[in-house]
Amino acid sequence: MTKFTHILLFIFALLTLCSIKSRGQNADTPQTPLKRGVVVDLYTRLPIADVAISDDEKEIGRTDEKGHFAIRLRTDSVIFSHISYISLKIGRDELIDTIPLMEQNNELGNVYIKGDPHYDIHMPTVDPLSMQPMPQGFNVLPLIVKGLKAIGILPKRSKRKARLQRAKYITDNY
């Protein structure tokens, strides 16, 4: 064999190996195109962060803090979902670069508060006259009462009895 035939065989072998390697890459899975876009609020047009993007099987991505996403579609549809927004299912052909989501109102239903029927609650009333400002000056009435008790004109009460009467008054008028 001549040098020329060796070179031809080497080139042939090299081309055969390259074609086998390139066919092997294409035979595994074809690369799906990368879809990019942003998810925004429908009315304010502000970006929404942390939106879950999933296909029929599992989550395939999330939006960043600026609402941007980049995903590879493996199925015919994709679902965009967020806790504060209504989920949106979009087909592969309908996917555009700006995805608007509508805010959902999470309203609490009727709330009922049931009280104990044996526990009666009396709401205190406010006397409009008590809201008047008090006149300024020196109150001498407690001094007079204390002096009359010291002299013996008014009877002295014990502190315990006074506290009990005051507690009874408070509980009766509550």
Q: Place 65 in a pLDDT band, splitting at 50, 70 and 90.
A: very high
Amino acid identity, position 110: N
pLDDT (average), residues 133-152: 74
Identify whether 146 is part of a domain.
Answer: yes
Q: What is the CATH number of the domain that holds 46?
A: 2.60.40.1120
Residue 122: inside a domain, yes or no? no
Q: Is residue 9 part of a domain?
A: no
Q: Does residue 119 lie in a domain region? A: no
Domain end call among 101, 129, 151:
101
Residue 55, number of CB atoms within 10 A of its CB: 18
Contact yes or no for 104/86 (Cβ under 8 A): yes
The amino acid occupying position 147 is G
Contact at 8 Å (CB) between 55 and 79?
Answer: yes
Q: Residue 17 and residue 32: Cα distance in Å, rounded?
A: 26
* pLDDT at position 27 over 50: no
Question: Residue 168: inside a domain, yes or no?
Answer: yes
Q: Please report which confidence band the pLDDT of residue 165 belongs to, taking 50, 70 and 90 as the band edges.
A: confident
Task: Provide the domain count of the chain.
Answer: 2
Instruction: Read off the pLDDT of residues 34-44 as tens digits, 9 standing for 90 and up.
Output: 889 999 999 99
Write down which residue in 51, 76, 101 finishes a domain.
Answer: 101
Q: What range defines the domain where residue 88 resides?
A: 34-101
Let me know whether 91 and 150 are in one domain. no
pTM: 0.46
Q: Concatenated DSSP letters for 68-83?
A: EEEEE--SSEEEEEET
Please list the alpha-helical segments (H only) found in 48-140.
Answer: none
pLDDT digits (tens, 9 = 90+) for 7-17: 666 676 666 76
Residue reference for tokens 């300024």? 136
Q: In the chain, what percentage of residues exceed pLDDT 90? A: 25
